[in-house]
Chain A
């Protein structure tokens, strides 16, 4: 049964595009006041879920409730509770910062007096008071994101939905956005649902995380719960050329008695204790067998390891592949 006291309640939601199942029977409750992160690679179904929650897409089957309101029945009433920061940096570049906020105040049916007061509060929050009369197109990337967040908060929604809020930002701007989101969540009691493909962002910011891949929720819990789910202990990772991976897996099995997982060019195994001892043994055997490898490491479980275990693929690798493909495209090297 769905729990209508949740800020967002997703109930057996499915969305098909032709033969492609973008969202596959997802049920999810997002509690009031939490920061919830939907973590997954591109094409996992994150944006589709967001679009359904905004009634920009109709689900094939299933229901979505915003503060207990059925999205399919009363979309406009439900929309009043949501502020959206879309994936594209949506500010009106040809309007000033102030006009941006005013426009959205009006679209959410606020009175002109309320709009004036709220604009001041929002400019303070996003530290854009000095740039209120400047065209938003002249803002830096970080400023535009902050304006986009203020715009989404103009009508004082109880839920803020952010679709990849820090994609494309440098680390300073990213941490600034994180601080801003924390402040909004703590001081204004706004429930935050965000999607991200950055593990460290989900780890640092979110109270709970849903790992999503191929339209299905693969894992759900707090970051530490998820990390514990792959077992106590430490991880040994060996990276090598593709043709050597089989030999390495066999070696690890002999040395530790455990099955290793493979993702890309990395072989990972979890050991309960004495990781350095295990690693020494593995290295010894690899040297004797003359199996070459490029690097080894020991580390505590991260969300990437969780992701690897749950989905069988590494988020880090998919990102790297995408980035290098993108770089090649930009440099005109592709095909």
Chain B
């Protein structure tokens, strides 16, 4: 088949150019996943080095042992102060999040007074249960009681909201939840930088005209752009996946699920590469192309539920999320990464939805490219 050979020739050309600009291409494509996965994926995790002020009114061996036990923990960093007033001043100024006052009776068995009294700034996002638990554990090992009292305007609501947030916050599952969304989004995003962009620059430089003046079929030009763009996008997706794994993301399905994850990446890449080629067929200005493609892809991050489930979208735009092609791809990948398996029926639904989208986009790119001549 002549068309396939011409497509291959032009595909090799695209990949040589991709290889020549490899560094730029890779850096451009991994900045987004690095920022999103490393920052967003780790938000809400147990913070390290929560500043606490310790006022030791006991100064007996037991209390010194308690302070050193607390100091050893990475979760807190300890400031030793002499008076409670000074410590409360620091708390008021936000320099510390917790003040621990050790009573003179610390370590005395049977004392009615609590050994340690904690004053917690509940309005601070750093005042997590972890740092309080460190203190409680240290005190418990020395058989001393701890009472906690919250300081700050919104102590009650903050206290409860921490519990609510922990559905996504802190748990490593959110990281995997996020990574599943991000790798599909990076794949879709990468399509903009692939075949579409190359078609645009080729037209500007006159390369497209030079190709059309050769006896090759025009469809070979389009196919080479779409196929090379797809491959490049999948490479970007795999890089993003690697970043997610390095950051501690988990894949419940293990290696066995990888072919299916790749399959969904491939469908997303093919669909969006075709869309990019279709846009580039009718647009000759770089700025217009970037705006047009960004305004299609950027909202997808939210509509397709890369950061949070589409069920949490406002009711008016929820249909755009539910019937979004990327939602199906993300759903498939997420199922494998979080649950470990994908029910055959879900796989079928996700795949069918993606195939319909991809088919439509391929058809669109063919129509647009023909018109462009």
Contact = CB atoms under 8 A, between A and B. Distances in A.
Interface centre among B6, B9, B211 (most CB of A within 10 A): B9
Contact of B206 (A79, A90, A99, A108): A90
Q: Which size class do A's interface residues fall under?
A: 20 to 34
B205 interface: yes
Interface string B104-124: 000000000000000000000
B285 interface: no
A109 B205 contact: no
A255 interface: no
Nearest to A85: B210
B16 interface: yes
Nearest to B207: A90
13 contacts: A54-B213, A79-B214, A82-B213, A84-B210, A89-B206, A93-B205, A95-B16, A95-B17, A99-B16, A103-B9, A107-B211, A107-B214, A107-B215
Contacts of A86: 206, 209-210, 213
Interface in B1-54: 2, 6, 9-10, 13, 16-17, 20-21
Interface of A: 54, 56, 75-77, 79-80, 82, 84, 86-90, 92-95, 99, 103-104, 106-109, 135
A63 to B, nearest CB: 19
Interface residues of B, number: 21
Interface in B207-249: 207, 209-216
B21 A94 contact: yes
A152 to B, nearest CB: 9
Given A79-B213, A86-B210, A94 B9 contact: no
Interface in B160-210: 205-207, 209-210
A87 B207 CA distance: 11
Contacts of A94: 16-17, 20-21
Contacts of B373: 56
Contacts of A88: 205-206, 209
B3 to A, nearest CB: 12
Contacts of A92: 13, 17, 207
Given A79-B214, A95-B16, A95-B20, 4 more contacts: A89-B206, A90-B205, A90-B206, A95-B17
Contacts of A77: 215
Contacts of B17: 92, 94-95
A135 B9 contact: no
Interface centre among A75, A82, A92 (most CB of B within 10 A): A92
Contacts of A107: 6, 9-10, 211, 214-216
Given A80-B215, A107-B6, A109-B2, A56 B207 contact: no
Contacts of B213: 54, 56, 79, 82, 84, 86
A54 B215 CA distance: 10
A90 B211 CA distance: 10
Interface centre among A88, A90, A95 (most CB of B within 10 A): A90
A108 B213 CA distance: 10
A323 B17 CA distance: 35
Nearest to A88: B206
Q: Which 10 pairs, one residue from A and one from B, show the smallest C-beta to C-beta distance?
A: A88-B206, A76-B215, A79-B215, A107-B214, A106-B9, A94-B17, A54-B213, A84-B213, A90-B210, A90-B206
A100 to B, nearest CB: 10
A87 B206 contact: yes
A217 to B, nearest CB: 23
A213 to B, nearest CB: 24
A56 B209 contact: yes
B212 A56 contact: yes
